[in-house]
Amino acid sequence: MARVCYVCGKRPSTGNRVSHANNKSKRRWLPNLQTVRIIDADGERRRVRVCTSCIKAGKIRKAPAIKKSVGA
């Protein structure tokens, strides 16, 4: 599964790791993605990867937990 936010499309960014001796090598900054169950536009429950900034901003509607009945 790709490291892309379902809501905003945030994806890994790249740059250089720079040592004290000014040596440069490639590095990546990964978005803080969390797997959450949401209710999408169709009213359907689905599990998607969303960045924490979208969760915090309330851009998704979390699906309620399904309650399991205990014994009969």
Residues 50-60 have pLDDT tens digits of: 999 999 999 99
In this model, does residue 70 exceed pLDDT 80? no
Name the band, by pLDDT with cuts 50, 70 and 90, for residue 66.
Answer: confident
Per CATH, is 1-63 categorized as 2.30.170.40?
yes
Looking at residues 42-53, what average pLDDT do you find? 94
Q: pTM for the complete prediction?
A: 0.79
Contact 54, 5 (CB under 8 A): yes
In this model, does residue 71 exceed pLDDT 90? no
Domain residue ranges of the chain, discontinuous segments joined by +: 1-63
Name the band, by pLDDT with cuts 50, 70 and 90, for residue 1.
Answer: low
Please, which residues have CB within 8 angstroms of residue 3's CB and are 6 or more apart in sequence? 11, 12, 30, 31, 33, 49
